[in-house]
Homo-oligomer: A and B are copies of this chain.
């Protein structure tokens, strides 16, 4: 098991040094650098090329999310673990979109942090179960979707793939007029006007 090289970006000296101390105590980890601001990290990280980065979100000046957005493209093999006190909805998704792969709360016990960093480095995405639920929710159909018949769900599936009416008709071995009829019924049930709105309603718009 090779040693994982970690960098820490965190403005509170106490936390920064605490985590650093913990990691250097822990078998299999070494803290190669720490930064008190996103500005410092933006310069330092591309040089250090750590395996994983612990990134605070609420930094003075540039935010941790913005920092990930800037640095990640130059460090495709480095994994970013967001580290925050808030379990903020918006920020979770924004951070993931920026290129982070893990999301830890600061209240996480220290041993658990080390374990999560290892998982992150091994290709996992450790995050608190409550944050995971937010992600999961975007995959679950809305109550409205439940009222669709089996046939309608099958056709919605085709819609989601971007198939043309003609292609759906062939696939389901029915006429294109029937496809039209089914889709019309689907739109009515979901109270939408077109394909994109329907898919957003069913699978969560993004």
Contacts and interface: CB of A to CB of B under 8 A. Distances in A.
Interface of A: 73, 93, 96-97, 99, 101, 116, 119-120, 122-130, 132-133, 135-136, 139-141, 146, 159-162, 192-197, 199-200, 203, 205-206
A164 to B, nearest CB: 8
Contact of A129 (B99, B126, B136): B126
12 contacts: A96-B136, A99-B140, A101-B133, A101-B136, A123-B133, A124-B128, A125-B132, A126-B129, A135-B136, A139-B206, A162-B194, A162-B197
For the residues of A in contact with B, the DSSP-based class is helix
Contacts of A203: 97, 206
A103 B74 CA distance: 33
Nearest to A139: B96
Given A99-B141, A125-B130, A196-B196, 9 more contacts: A73-B146, A97-B139, A123-B130, A125-B129, A125-B135, A126-B132, A162-B205, A195-B195, A196-B199
Contact of A130 (B97, B124, B128, B141): B124
A135 B133 contact: no
Nearest to A129: B124
A69 B199 CA distance: 18
Given A73-B146, A135-B135, A196 B162 contact: yes
Contacts of A197: 162
Nearest to A202: B97
